[in-house]
């Protein structure tokens, strides 16, 4: 695919071959690229035509064009236009206005959402940070004390829109009227060279929006591209700016970073660029400290969890976001659990306390909605319940809605070197056995030499001796 792209780039540059320096946009006609209407979402095409019909310019932009040229299936389709959000909203009854920081319109077709935004002009420069900007169609922009763009609603032309996008390969526009691709920042050449290059001055662009550093890493992990030297250079030093990003936004970014099917590579890159500690501070501190136990090697465990998730995603299976979060935080839970127990707390309350503490610390960095934290707690809790299989317990556990996730989690622990006496294999057999076999499996636990979990022996009741004086029992 990329070989084809190289010739496309040669063609593109030859179209503009002139004694002058490269002129943008480079326009690639339909005959010279492989993107056809068949590759596009019919709903996105409908949106483009409707906008065109109403007299507006409209293009497909961003990931869908980039991914198609690279040979990856596009995940979603983003449309950009010179219509304002209100004008877009008026055109589509199936739409809603969303966002404050970045106002745009969602047009919904059943489960598919086409995101439609208005051409943006680059946001205010630092020296005019607090002054509202005058612009083509009004609206405003604002920055925080750290120079982070809080609102970015200054509308502009397509050229300006291209300039304020993050990376060159994300500033490619597809025009459905003549099926041409418009390249404003050299994105085609960068795709051909497998380069991630930020548009404009890297420091300034990260200052405006530190999440762009995470996006650079995400694309490096997902596409296997190299980050251009100037784009990469300021990341380590500016990573701390992530502290000023709302935890809810970072939560979404983490899901995309680690849930793209390239989690291992992305994890290494995040650590290499000093970004990981702003996403998972406790986990990073624990990894750096080198803390280990005979039954837990934190890094091996996390890598095993990511490998499992990557494999699932690469084979078209789904993964639950809470599972990944449960993996990333498990070493911290184990460490805190040990600490609370060493202070004399019994095992179960110590586990609950440890889970609460780890989750409380984590939400300061990345939010974790309750619909995720509850199943995370259940997965952790079940790691201590899965060894206790006697009597009816195994059947009760098997019926637990979180059984499958907890079992997968247990296998990851074993694969990463935790010795659990064949517990994973036992549960594997138990799940698929018939009732008789299941009973045999439960009996087999009892027969094990050092089994501490067998039935509790009942203490014989003390008979009341009617004539003897009764001993007083202390109140419990
Ligand atoms: P994918 O959808 O595969 O995750 P994408 O590049 O489409 O990748 P989106 O978050 O859907 O990512 O954004 C769509 C487009 O909006 C991007 O291609 C880019 O042009 C622009 N964009 C997104 N986030 C930023 C940002 N933080 N700064 C500048 N431009 C951005
Ligand atoms: Mg996208």
Atom 15 in ligand 1: residue holding the nearest Cα? 62
Instruction: Give the separation between CA 129 and CA 126, rounded to whole angstroms.
Output: 5
Give the ranges where 38-95 is alpha helix by DSSP (H): 42-53, 63-70, 85-91
Alpha carbon 69 to its chain centroid, in Å, reads 23
Most confident of 119-123, 134-138, 148-152, 301-305: 301-305
Q: Which ligand is nearest to the CA of 219?
A: 1
Give the pair of three-digit tokens for residue 68: 């198609």
Strand partners, 116: 79, 105
Q: Are 324 and 272 in contact (CB under 8 A)?
A: no
Atom 17 in ligand 1: residue holding the nearest Cα? 62
3-state secondary structure 82-94: CCCHHHHHHHCCC
Instruction: Give the separation between CA 246 and CA 243, rounded to whole angstroms.
Output: 8
Angle formed by the axes of helices 321-342 and 247-258, nearest 10°? 110
pLDDT averaged over the chain? Answer: 88
Give CATH superfamily name and number for 1-120+155-193. Answer: Beta Polymerase, domain 2 (3.30.460.10)
DSSP states along 5-40: HHHHHHHHHHHT-SSSPP-S-EEE-GGGS---GGGS
| Ligand 1 atom closest to 212 (CA) | 27
Say what the pLDDT of residue 474 is. Answer: 34
Please state the pTM of the whole predicted model: 0.88
Cβ partners under 8 Å of residue 110, min gap 6:
none
Mean pLDDT score, 79-94: 97
- End-to-end Cα distance, the chain: 75
| Ligand 1 atom closest to 62 (CA) | 18
Question: How far apart are the CA of 75 and the centre of ligand 1, in A?
Answer: 12
Q: Are 327 and 336 in contact (CB under 8 A)?
A: no
The DSSP code for 96 is E
Say what the pLDDT of residue 200 is. Answer: 96
Choice between 476 and 432, residue whose per-residue pLDDT is larger: 432
Question: How far apart are the CA of 114 and the centre of ligand 2, in A?
Answer: 10
Percentage of residues in the chain having pLDDT higher than 90 = 77
Mean pLDDT score, 378-389: 96
The 10s digit of each residue's pLDDT in 353-377 is: 999 999 999 999 999 999 999 999 9
Q: Note the CATH architecture for domain 282-450.
A: Orthogonal Bundle (1.10)
Percentage of residues in the chain having pLDDT higher than 70 = 85
Give the pair of three-digit tokens for residue 78: 């983003």
Instruction: Give the separation between CA 273 and CA 450, rounded to whole angstroms.
Output: 47
Angle formed by the axes of helices 321-342 and 281-289, nearest 10°? 60
Question: How far apart are the CA of 321 and the centre of ligand 2, in A?
Answer: 19
Catalytic residues: 76, 78, 166
Return the domain boundaries, the chain: 1-120+155-193, 125-151, 282-450
Say what the pLDDT of residue 222 is. Answer: 94
Say what the pLDDT of residue 425 is. Answer: 96
Atom 4 in ligand 1: residue holding the nearest Cα? 63
Domains 1-120+155-193 and 282-450 share a fold: no
The 10s digit of each residue's pLDDT in 254-312 is: 999 999 899 999 999 999 999 999 999 999 999 999 999 999 999 999 999 999 999 99
């Amino acid at each position: 695919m990329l070989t084809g792209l190289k010739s496309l780039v040669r063609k593109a540059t030859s179209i503009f071959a002139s004694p002058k320096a490269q002129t943008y946009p480079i326009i690639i006609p339909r005959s010279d690229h492989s993107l056809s209407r068949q590759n596009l979402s019919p709903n996105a095409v409908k949106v483009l035509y409707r906008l065109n019909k109403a007299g507006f310019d409209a293009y497909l932009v961003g990931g869908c064009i980039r991914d198609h040229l690279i040979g990856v299936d596009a995940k979603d389709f983003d449309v950009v236009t010179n219509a304002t959000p209100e004008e877009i909203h008026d055109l589509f009854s199936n739409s809603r206005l969303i966002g404050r920081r970045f106002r745009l319109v969602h047009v919904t077709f059943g489960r598919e959402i086409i995101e439609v935004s208005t051409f943006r002009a680059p946001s205010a420069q630092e020296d005019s940070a607090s002054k509202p900007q005058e612009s083509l169609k009004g609206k405003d922009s604002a920055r925080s004390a750290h120079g982070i763009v809080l609102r970015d609603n200054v509308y502009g032309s397509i050229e300006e829109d291209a300039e304020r996008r993050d990376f060159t390969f994300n500033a490619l526009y597809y025009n459905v009227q003549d099926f041409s691709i418009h390249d404003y920042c050299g994105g085609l050449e960068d795709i051909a060279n497998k380069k991630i290059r930020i548009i404009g001055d890297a420091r300034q662009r990260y200052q405006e929006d530190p999440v762009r550093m995470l996006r650079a890493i995400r694309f490096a992990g997902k596409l296997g591209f190299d980050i251009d030297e100037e784009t990469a250079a300021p990341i380590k030093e500016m990573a701390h700016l992530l502290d000023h990003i709302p935890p809810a936004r970072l939560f979404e970014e983490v899901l995309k970073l680690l849930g793209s099917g390239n989690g291992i590579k992305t994890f290494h890159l995040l650590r290499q660029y000093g970004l990981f500690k702003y996403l998972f501070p406790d986990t990073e501190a624990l990894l750096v400290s080198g803390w280990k136990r005979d039954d837990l090697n934190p890094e091996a465990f996390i890598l095993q969890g990511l490998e499992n998730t990557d494999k699932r995603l690469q084979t078209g299976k789904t993964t639950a976001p809470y599972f990944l979060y449960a993996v990333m935080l498990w070493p911290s839970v184990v460490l805190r659990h040990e600490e609370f127990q060493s202070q004399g707390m019994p095992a179960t309350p110590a586990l609950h306390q440890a889970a609460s503490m780890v989750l409380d610390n984590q939400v300061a960095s990345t939010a974790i909605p309750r619909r995720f934290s509850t199943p995370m707690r259940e997965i952790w809790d079940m790691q201590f319940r899965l060894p206790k299989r006697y009597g009816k317990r195994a059947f009760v556990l098997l019926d637990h809605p979180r059984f499958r996730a907890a079992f997968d989690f247990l296998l990851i622990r074993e694969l990463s070197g935790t010795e659990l006496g064949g517990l994973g294999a036992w549960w594997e057999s138990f799940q698929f056995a018939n009732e008789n076999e299941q009973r045999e499996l439960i009996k087999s636990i009892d027969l094990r030499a050092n089994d501490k979990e067998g039935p509790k022996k009942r203490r014989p009741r003390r008979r009341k001796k009617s004539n003897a004086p009764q001993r007083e029992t202390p109140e419990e």
